[in-house]
Amino acid sequence: MRVALPLSRNGKAHSMPRLAATLCKLKSPTTEGVVKKHLHPSLGALPLTDVTPGRIEAMLNRKAEALSPRSQNGLRALIHRVFELAILHDKWHGVDPAKRVKRRKVPKRLPTYLKADEVPPFLAMLDPDWRPLFATAVYTGLWRGELLALRKEDVDLADRTIQVVRSTGNDTTKGGHADLIPIADGLLPYLKAAIAASPSDLVFPGEKGKPRPRDEARPRTPTSTGPRGHRERLRPPLPAVRVQ
């Protein structure tokens, strides 16, 4: 899809946030919010020719107290994406200044998991409609996209296995391979209830049996690790649960 970006050939006509606004139309409301909150105040008055590595570096340094290193890297990546999009569509003929800005070092921390005795009270706090989805996340460690793409044909209740072969919008998993996950005793009743309640071929559909939007389960509350050996963060329509 060709995108018409509102720039003159020399890049002086419009500012960085205006170019970013075009990108937002192709992305999500979250991206648009980041642009308004972080790019407009710092770079909004500058023509693209004045968005230099030094100015990007200074902006990130000013936000060091408010943003984590990971979030600073995300902001740098957004600026990089904006310039790459302009270059791709022959609307910017200079260099990408974000490439010359070093990524922030992200500290490695031990992950936080729910303990076995914390799972029942955690699930009890959720709305009943969300319990099967979160129970599956807790007991299997599936990624969010894998959970939302799970189909009834992938679940074998008799053999007590889950076949993980796809993710949201993709015919393969995030890792590009299929997995066979055992169904734990505590998970079995939740899966049975979800399958019985679903009006479509999906195990965890949204309204009218259609695929549930990913934004309905955005990162916030940590789950436990499952057979996959990693965790996925989901957010129910409830306050975050603190996990020790």
Among 194, 106, 109, CA closest to 147: 194
d(CA 177, CA 81): 28
- pLDDT for 48 equals 76
Sign, CA torsion 64/69/74/78 = positive
Average pLDDT of the residues in 210-214: 79
Nearest CA among 30, 29, 76, 71 for reference residue 51: 76
Cα 128 to Cα 89: distance, rounded to the nearest angstrom: 48
pLDDT category at 234 given cuts 50, 70, 90 is very low
Question: Tell me, which fold does domain 16-100 have in CATH?
Answer: DNA polymerase; domain 1 (1.10.150)
Q: What are the residue ranges of CATH 1.10.443.10 in the chain?
A: 116-217
Query: What pLDDT digit, counting tens, does each position of 22-68 carry?
Result: 555 545 566 777 777 888 788 877 777 888 999 999 999 999 999 99
CATH 1.10.150.130 in the chain is located at 16-100
Percent of the chain whose pLDDT exceeds 70:
74
Tokens 């509102």, residue?
6
Tally the residues of the chain: 244
Portion of the chain with pLDDT greater than 90, in percent: 38
116-217 CATH fold: hpI Integrase; Chain A (1.10.443)
Token pair 């690790």 is found at 225
Q: Give me the helices (H) in 89-199, please.
A: 119-124, 131-140, 144-148, 188-197
In tens, the pLDDT along 57-79 reads 999 999 999 999 999 999 999 88
137-195, pLDDT tens digit by residue?
Answer: 989 988 888 999 999 999 999 999 999 998 887 777 767 778 899 999 999 999 999 99
